[in-house]
Amino acid sequence: MKFYNRKSELKALNDWWKEKGSHLVIMYGKRRVGKTALSLEFAKNKPTIFHLAERLDPKLQLQKISQEVGVFFKDAYVSEYGFQDWEQLFRYIAQKKQKIVIIIDEFPYLVDADPAIPSVFQKGWDLYLSKSPVYLILCGSSIGMMEKHTLIYGAPLYGRRSGQILVRPFSFFELEDIFPKKSFEERLMIYSVVGGTITYLKNFLGRKNFWKVMESTMLSKEQFMYEEVDFLLREEFREPRNYFSILLGLSLGKRKASEVMNYTGFDKATISSYLAVLQQLLIVQKEISITEKIPEKSRKGFYRISDNFFEFWFRFIFRNKQLIEEGSQGEVVKIIKSNIAELVSRNYEEIAGEWAQRNMGNNFQYVGRWWNDSNEIDIVGFNQETKEIIFGEVKWSNRQVGTNIFVELENKARNVDWNNASRKEQFILFSKSGFTLDMKKLAKKRKNIVLVEKDKLVRIAKKT
């Protein structure tokens, strides 16, 4: 299977490999995001022991990796009889003094089977592996457990790593490498349904019909994506029901903490704790108006499901399970077609914000949404040093954007309290369906207006 992108992650891994001595790298991220593929791509053409941890008894786990070590070093005795404990294994590898990559995939499974494993690895690293040319990669899909046992202060392996790599889902703009023959709108539809998780994206490779792929992979009881969110929540949490209730509430539009409290019946402390965990796991995001001075302490934020597939699953799969179970997938497809525009529009807003930050050339330090009690602006970005600020409106509509939209944006911008006396204002309009002739004329006339038209996010020529 073709490997996609991950250039910066591969560069970091290879830069450490080129250095002398030992290295411990922590690689973590959401399930199915491509951690294993990344580690194996890095290890290609390098001497490597790859061990996929499983939910096994600790003795069986040690026996399994002993066999893998024996095979690598062509040591029949080790392959047959194995090691008595992990310390013996670490000592054996260190004595070989061979530059080698060792990948332990799904490290949290080892910890589940034996909670002492992080301390065992700490001792093994300190006494043996750190004194040898070993390149140890610990991978894990449980973000919480990986951080708890390897990254945070007080964790047994804290302070021993050369670095850590949080493998994130692909951004929308990285999808162009995966789907070079698909249009912007096709990529946006796919991204709005499954996000940037490579395992899900691969379903859409080739010139396949979007709706047929979605129906056969997500609305089929026999396919893993049908029960995927249930599975992921059970894997991550011992008591997933409460998290499930919160996510369901968010998918129904309960975006304030108080609204989630009323919907679930949980108290404030419980909601705050669960939402914090869901944010840590990159499933939920808290949105704060971009001009808030201390955003981490703001009480004016809204919560939303930031994982596109989770959002889609709760909105369209979970709510229509009875129809799917009855074999009425066609009815569910009709429901999705009638309501998916909202998801696509929201993602277009996010993509537009990222495009503005990448392409405007003014190095805006902060880009996000802005709102007060009566107004809302899709994109506001500003640079504290140059006092430049940009205001943007995003329209995913079949109608062309006219000057009325710009005038409305300009009026709303006056309500944004930020360096009012000295700021330099710019405006950017995004439109799926282009712009009216009057709007194009105005953009040519004004030096501070940028138009990004149709569905290709391409800035139009506007002035000479």
pLDDT, tens digit, for every residue of 250-263?
A: 999 999 999 999 99
SS3 of 132-178: CCEEEEEEECCHHHHHHHHHCCCCCCCCCCCEEEECCCCCHHHHHHH
- For residues 360 and 448, the answer to whether their CB atoms sit within 8 Å is no
**Quick one: CA torsion of 190, 278, 303, 324, rounded to 10 degrees?**
50
Q: What is the pLDDT of residues 360-393, one digit of tens each?
A: 776 787 899 999 989 999 999 999 899 999 999 9
From CA 271, how far away is CA 264, in angstroms rounded? 9
Q: Which domains does the chain have, with CATH numbers?
A: 7-166 (3.40.50.300), 180-346 (1.10.10.10), 361-459 (3.40.1350.10)
DSSP 435: B
258-273 average pLDDT score:
95
What is the rounded average pLDDT for all residues in the chain? 93
400-425 average pLDDT score:
95
Non-local (6+) Cβ contacts of 18 within 8 A are none
From CA 38, how far away is CA 122, in angstroms rounded? 24
Q: Which residue has the tokens 């229509």?
A: 320
Non-local (6+) Cβ contacts of 111 within 8 A are 117, 118, 145, 149
DSSP string, 15-73: HHHHSSS-EEEEEE-STTSSHHHHHHHHHTTS-EEEEE--S--HHHHHHHHHHHHHHHT
> Distance of CA 18 to CAs 61, 93, 135, Å?
31, 20, 11
From CA 195, how far away is CA 310, in angstroms rounded? 9
| Adjacent-strand bridge partners of 458 | 453
265-288 average pLDDT score:
94
Model pLDDT, residue 357: 85
Strands 134-140 and 388-395: unpaired
**Is the predicted pLDDT of residue 98 greater than 80, yes or no?**
yes
Model pLDDT, residue 460: 54
- For residues 409 and 391, the answer to whether their CB atoms sit within 8 Å is yes
* Lowest-confidence region among 159-168, 350-359, 392-401: 350-359
pLDDT class for 432, splitting at 50, 70, 90?
very high
Predicted TM-score of the model (pTM):
0.92
DSSP 313: I
Q: Which residue has the tokens 């004016």?
A: 300
**Is the predicted pLDDT of residue 175 greater than 70, yes or no?**
yes
pLDDT class for 143, splitting at 50, 70, 90?
confident
- At 315, the amino acid letter reads R
Q: What is the pLDDT of residues 325-334, one digit of tens each?
A: 999 999 999 9
From CA 103, how far away is CA 106, in angstroms rounded? 10
Three-state SS for 352?
Answer: helix
Model pLDDT, residue 239: 84
407-426 average pLDDT score:
95
- For residues 454 and 433, the answer to whether their CB atoms sit within 8 Å is yes
342-355 average pLDDT score:
94
Model pLDDT, residue 464: 45
Q: Which residue has the tokens 């070989």?
A: 96
Strands 134-140 and 458-459: unpaired
Q: Which residue has the tokens 């061979």?
A: 98
pLDDT class for 461, splitting at 50, 70, 90?
low
- For residues 404 and 426, the answer to whether their CB atoms sit within 8 Å is no
| Adjacent-strand bridge partners of 24 | 136
Q: How far is CA 55 from the centre of its chain?
A: 26
- At 256, the amino acid letter reads K
- For residues 124 and 163, the answer to whether their CB atoms sit within 8 Å is no
Query: What would you measure as the largest C-alpha separation in the chain, in angstroms?
Result: 81
A 10 A CB-CB count for 178 gives 19
- For residues 39 and 22, the answer to whether their CB atoms sit within 8 Å is no
Which H or E element spans position 233?
Answer: helix 228-236
Query: What are the structure tokens assigned to 126, written together?
Result: 């300190």
